[in-house]
Structure 1
Amino acid sequence: MRTQVAIIGSGPSGLLLGQLLATIGIETVILERSSREHVLGRVRAGVLEQGTVDLLGEAGVADRLHTEGLQHSGISLAFDGRLHRIDLTGLTGGKHVTVYGQTEVTHDLMDKREAAGLVTVYEASNVAPRDFGGASPFVSYHKDGVTHRIDCDFIAGCDGYHGISRGSVPEGALKTFERQYPFGWLGVLAEVPPVDHELIYANHERGFALCSMRSPRRSRYYVQVPADERVEDWPDDRFWDELRRRLPSQTAAAVTTGPSFEKSIAPLRSFVAEPMRFGRLFLVGDAAHIVPPTGAKGLNLAASDVRYLFAGLREFYSHQSEAGLDAYSAKALARVWKAVRFSWWMTTILHRFPETGEFGQRIQEAELDYLVHSKAASTALAENYVGLPY
């Protein structure tokens, strides 16, 4: 088999890249090691920057998003027993974010790809990008006991942090930067109305908490827990009690509880791999970088990588120029590091760090107080939260 661009991974970044390329007639094949059902079963974040929404529109998959997505013009920071609202729209000249689950984005992209008859191979094992340092790269994989080969012009590694793409880069060609955090997020999904119409980020002496949502009837809540915590030790009643302890009393009293239908603990890390291009192999999204979810940047960073790579491939096929592809890594990483900084900062000011003790808690409280009373500081937060320019 031959295609122009072989895409490894059928998460949002791989599907979005494939759909954008399809709009300009560039052929793709997507290889996915898991089943379609498994991919759709992944529970991920759902706060989209306007740039991400626009890119989904360009790909022709934003109809349901515009109908069901929840536009948010602000967020609240909870500390000192009160809520302090950050007016994202007022501070950024009219910008906002949209709450729409990553699972729904994936579903929309999958449906569009299948309707167009484009090729996605699910449950492809032993996927391996090969010869990407030269002019004739290809990808091999196993399916139904048979080894297959896809020749291509370029390979897009959209297969996440644990995928094969980054692991295939020759030793010494890649430099990584990483920060592990000593805690994780225990999250639940429940069919209950959200406690507020916007997200609430809480700093409390017992630890961080986040009140989010997926729809007006489905809530997503998180509490900070030690990195070695076990989800089995957190029955629903314990979770709801702990969440309410970390919220202002009036907000806590308004929390609607109910049985959770998904519960998991996510570790937090900051990770960047440089560069993001190796010959004709390009790393995209989580294959190249991970950010703590505190800044709501993971999916949005993947979308910005796709935007830069799509522009480079479009220029290559329409004008036979490699300038955009040559610039891909530098452009993507410039935006990545700004998002890594913002996510690290949000994590630092909102979470309880065991090693900093009461001094660290007082510093956080002072910074949060300054943040909500300084228009300049609030504007900096708002500009980063809604998404920096491309």
Structure 2
Amino acid sequence: MRTQVVIIGSGPSGLLLGQLLANEGIANIILERASRDHVLGRVRAGVLEQGTLDLIDEAGAGERMHAEGLPHEGISLAFDGRLHRIDLAALTGGKRVMVYGQTEVTHDLMDKREAAGLATIYEAGNVEPHDFSGEAPYVTYEKDGVGHRIDCDFITGCDGFHGVSRKSVPSTAIRTYERAYPFGWLGILAEVPPAGHELIYANHPRGFALCSMRSTHRSRYYVQCPLDDRIEDWSDDRFWDELRRRLPAEAAAGIVTGASFEKSIAPLRSFVAEPLRFGRLFLVGDAAHIVPPTGAKGLNLAASDVRYLYWGLREFYRENSSAGIDAYSSRALSRVWKAVRFSWWMTTMLHRFPDTDDFGQRIQEAELDYLVHSQMASAALAENYVGLPY
């Protein structure tokens, strides 16, 4: 079997890249180790930058997103017992973000790919890229106990942090940077209306809290917790009580409680691998970088990588030029590191660290106070939150 591009991983980055390439007539096959239902069952973030929205539209998969997504023109920072709104649109010349779940993005892209008759091989076992340092790379995999080989021009690793793509790179050819944070996020999903029509990020002496949503009737809430906490120790009642303690009274009054249908504790980390290209193998999204969810950048950074790689591959096949793919790693990493910085800054400003004493808490509050009362500081936050230019 032969194709032009093999894409490992059918998350949103792999599906988005595959659709954009297919629209250009560039043949591609997606290999996914999990089942279709498992991929669609993953619960992930859902704040999309304008650039991500534009790219999904370019792929032809944005119709339901625009019909059901929730456009947001601002966010609120909660501290010192008050809510302070950051007007994203006013500070960025009309730019905004949209709340639309990653699962829904994945579903839309899957439907688009299936309607176009494009090949996705689910439950592909023992996927392995080969010879990507030369001119004739290929990928092997097993399906139903039978071995297969796909020859190709390029391999793209969209298979996440634990995927095979980055692990296939010789250790001497790659450098990684990592920062692990000494706390986690306890998150729940509940079929209740959100506390407000925009996201609320709360700094409190008891720890960080976030009020988010997936729709007008489904809410996503988080509270900072120790990494060694156990899910079974957090009843719904305990969670709701703790969330309200960390919010100003006006926000706490808007909390509608109900039974959670998903509850988990996620560790936070910053991680970057460099470079993103190894001969004819490219790393994309979580395969190359992870950010704390505080800045809402994970999916958007994956889309950013897709944009740069898509441009490069399109140029290669249209114009027989390798300039775009040669520049992919440096272009993508320049934007990645800015988003890593922003996510780190938001995380350090809003969370209670184990060594944060009363002095540290007041410093955080002073920084937040400066941030919301300085138009320049607010504009810098807004520019990063809606997404830096490409």
**In which range does the TM-score fall when normalised by the shorter chain?**
over 0.9
- Alpha-carbon deviations, 1:287-327, whole Å to 9, x = none? 00000000000000000000000000000001110000000
Gaps of at least 5 residues in structure 1 are: none
CA deviation profile, 1:153-204 (whole Å, cap 9, x unmatched) = 0000000000000000012100000000001111100000000000000000
What residue in structure 2 maps to residue 304 of structure 1?
304
Quote how far apart the aligned CAs of 1:355 are.
Answer: 1.2
Secondary structure in 1 matching 2:186: strand
TM-score (norm 1): 0.99
CA contact (8 A) 1:271 1:289 kept: yes
The answer as to 2:116 corresponding to 1:116 is: yes
How many residue pairs get aligned? The number is 390
Instruction: Give runs of aligned pairs for residues 88-103 of structure 1, distance below 5 A.
Output: 88-103=88-103
| Matched ranges for 1:1-390 at <5 A | 1-390=1-390
Alpha-carbon distance in structure 2 between the residues aligned to 1:229 and 1:113: 41
Q: Aligned AA for 1:313?
A: L
In 2, the alpha carbon distance for the partners of 1:5 and 1:185 equals 37
Q: How far apart are residue 362 of structure 1 and its match?
A: 1.0
The whole-number CA distance in structure 1 between the counterparts of 2:250 and 2:71 is 24
Letter in 2 for 1:53: L
The Cα of 1:356 is off from its aligned counterpart by: 2.4
RMSD: 0.5
Amino acid at match of 2:363: I
CA shift at 1:265, angstroms?
A: 0.9
Superposed CA deviations along residues 7-28 of structure 1, whole A, max 9, x for unmatched, are 0000000000000001011111
In 2: Cα distance, 1:233 partner to 1:123 partner: 35
8 Å Cα contact 1:353/1:360 also seen in 2:
no
User: TM-score, normalising length from structure 2?
Assistant: 0.99
Measured in 2, the distance between the counterparts of 1:227 and 1:174 equals 29
The amino acid that maps onto 2:385 is: Y
Specify the code of the residue in structure 1 equivalent to 2:246.
Answer: R
More displaced stretch, 159-168 vs 226-235: 226-235
For the residues of structure 2 that align with 1:95 and 1:253, how far apart are their CA atoms?
30
**1:87-117 Cα deviation digits (max 9, x unpaired):** 0000001100000000000000000101111
**Deviation per residue, 1:201-253 (Å, 9 max, x gap):** 00000000000000001100000001121111111111101100100012112
Structure 2: how far apart are the matches of 1:171 and 1:47? 34
Q: What secondary structure is seen at the aligned counterpart in 1 of 2:83?
A: strand
Task: Describe the SS at the equivalent of 1:107.
Answer: helix
Q: Which amino acid aligns with 1:377?
A: A
| Counterpart-to-counterpart distance in 1, 2:195 and 2:254 | 6
SS at match of 2:224: strand
1:229 alignment partner, SS class: coil
**SS of residue in 1 equivalent to 2:272:** strand
Name the SS of the counterpart of 2:172 in structure 1: coil
Q: Displacement, 1:358?
A: 1.6
- Distance, in Å, in 1 between the alignment partners of 2:272 and 2:48 is 21
Inter-partner Cα distance in structure 2 for 1:205 and 1:177: 30
Counterpart CA distance in 1 for 2:359 and 2:34 is: 46
Following the alignment from structure 1 to structure 2, what is the Cα–Cα distance between the partners of residues 26 and 382?
A: 36
TM superposition shift of 1:345: 0.1
The secondary structure found in structure 1 opposite 2:303 is helix
Unaligned runs of 5+ in 2: none
Range 134-143 or range 249-258, more displaced: 249-258
The alignment-based identity, stated in percent, is 79
Moved over 2 A (4+): none
CA-to-aligned-CA distance 1:43-70 (integer Å, 9 cap, x gap): 0000000000000000000000010111
- In the alignment, the residues of structure 2 paired with residue 199 and residue 339 of structure 1 have an alpha-carbon distance, to the nearest angstrom, of 19
The aligned amino acid for 2:124 is: A
Q: Is contact 1:181-1:269 (8 Å) kept?
A: yes
CA distance in 2, matches of 1:17, 1:225: 36
Q: Is the 8 A contact 1:199 1:212 kept in 2?
A: yes
Aligned counterparts of 1:295 and 1:37: Cα–Cα separation in 2: 28
Tell me the distance in 1 between the aligned counterparts of 2:227 and 2:290: 17
